[in-house]
Amino acid sequence: MTTMTTSSADGVSKPFIRDEMWAFLIMTALLVMVPVSGIYPFFVMQALCFALFACAFNLLIGYSGLLSFGHAMFLGTGGYVTAHAAKVWGVSPEIGIVLGVAAAVALGVITGLIAIRRQGIYFSMITLALSQLLYFVYLQTPFTHGEDGIQGVPQGMMFGIFDLSKPITLYYVVLVIFLLAFLLIYRIINSPFGEVLKSIRENEPRAISLGYKTDQYKLMAFILSGALAGLAGAVKVFVAQNASLTDVHWTMSGEVVLMTLVGGLGTVFGPVIGAFVIIAMQQYLASFGQWVLVIQGVIFVVCVLTFRRGVIGEIAHYFRRSL
């Protein structure tokens, strides 16, 4: 369901907020039951990491109107720093995740100050250029081990209590992190800060005329989105036990755009659905080899032509129109 303003005087938004909370509870219940349902936990953990990545990207484009073609640099940076800290420095998983997110935040500040100066396609091209620059840096930097990546990352004990080498324990840790991050994103987009972002997306000159410093709001949204994307990359390291150049490549930035658009741009649950659809396709259509990309392209074209609001966006539009 799409997020609506909670401050409307007529109270029309309240049913949608209630529906979103019910949807969140149902999603949580389904995800909690995964280990006992016979579904492969590794697939769901991987999908949850990419769902968080897509939600972070959606925070930027869906609610701020900023299309980044280089968001993979945050996913990869969070992953590389966390993997290096866990394997080489021997830090605990929670410290490794914090370091990975901190690195993504620092990267967000640096790249954001550069990219936010431009708008539209120029902003997108700057983010793509910065991402490609970082890709070649990571290709040559010794600590990333080039094309080999960082392999065999130890999963360790989180907080000295949770043994991440146990698949069920790891699954529930990943699930808790995802749900907390999801609720944080939900709170952001329903806060006064989120309302300002929506106003900037709809009409930036008017927001400026009202006295808002739009560049500061966009920079903060860019940093928050990058931090959450870094969190997704940091958590993914303990699921896959490696960090590779794949997570920094421009094609990963393209995949997150695909996930967001298929699920529903500017919707709360759309990126989650989109991530699960794309990851499921990659998982279960792997036997088709490179044809998976062709199949993804066909599905993307069909979705754009028939479900322009995405899966969740169309469902939300149908219920809103029926009221």
Say if CB 247 and CB 144 are below 8 A apart. no
Report yes or no on 308 lying in a domain: no
Number of domains in the chain: 1
129-134: list long-range contacts, CB under 8 Å, 24+ apart. 129/70, 130/70, 130/73, 131/69, 131/70, 131/71, 131/72, 131/73, 131/248, 131/250, 131/253, 132/70, 132/250, 134/73, 134/76, 134/77, 134/107, 134/248
pLDDT of 303: 76
Q: Which of the four pLDDT bands, split at 50, 70 and 90, describes residue 107? A: very high
Rounded Cα gap, residues 295 and 58, in angstroms: 23
Report yes or no on 12 lying in a domain: no
Decide if pLDDT at 289 tops 80. no
End-to-end, the C-alpha distance of the chain in Å comes to 14
Closest residue by Cα to residue 81 from 222, 235, 256: 235
pLDDT of 10: 36
Burial of residue 121 (CB within 10 Å: 0-12, 13-18, 19+) is exposed
Residue 158's φ and ψ, nearest 5 degrees, are: -80, 125
Decide if pLDDT at 8 tops 60. no
Q: Is 127 helix (H, G, I), strand (E, B) or coil?
A: helix
Rounded Cα gap, residues 170 and 265, in angstroms: 30
178 vs 17, 94, 102, 233, 278, CA distance in Å?
20, 14, 18, 12, 18
Query: How far is residue 184 CA from its own chain's centroid?
Result: 12
**Sign of CA pseudo-dihedral 62, 66, 71, 75:** negative
Give the chain's radius of gyration (CA, Å).
Answer: 19
Give me the count of residues in the chain: 323
Report yes or no on 318 lying in a domain: no
Decide if pLDDT at 320 tops 70. no
Decide if pLDDT at 176 tops 60. yes
Q: Which of the four pLDDT bands, split at 50, 70 and 90, describes residue 322? A: low
Say if CB 321 and CB 16 are below 8 A apart. no
H/E stretch holding 242: strand 242-243
pLDDT of 264: 85
Report yes or no on 154 lying in a domain: yes
Report yes or no on 276 lying in a domain: no
Mean pLDDT calculated for residue range 39-48: 89
Mean pLDDT calculated for residue range 173-179: 96
Q: What is the largest CA-CA distance in the chain?
A: 59
pLDDT of 20: 81
Cβ atoms within 10 A of the Cβ of 136, count? 11
Rounded Cα gap, residues 225 and 191, in angstroms: 16
Q: Which of the four pLDDT bands, split at 50, 70 and 90, describes residue 323? A: low
The two tokens of residue 223 are: 């940093």
Report yes or no on 228 lying in a domain: yes
Mean pLDDT calculated for residue range 227-248: 95
Domain residue limits at 229: 40-247
Report yes or no on 158 lying in a domain: yes
What stretches of 130-214 adopt beta strand conformation (E)?
150-151, 157-158, 162-163
Decide if pLDDT at 284 tops 60. yes
Q: Compute the mean pLDDT over every residue in the chain, rounded to the nearest whole number.
A: 88
Decide if pLDDT at 18 tops 80. no
Rounded Cα gap, residues 235 and 94, in angstroms: 10
Q: Which of the four pLDDT bands, split at 50, 70 and 90, describes residue 287? A: confident
Report yes or no on 275 lying in a domain: no
- Cα atoms in the Cβ-side hemisphere of radius 13 Å centred on 75: 31
The two tokens of residue 133 are: 């620059």
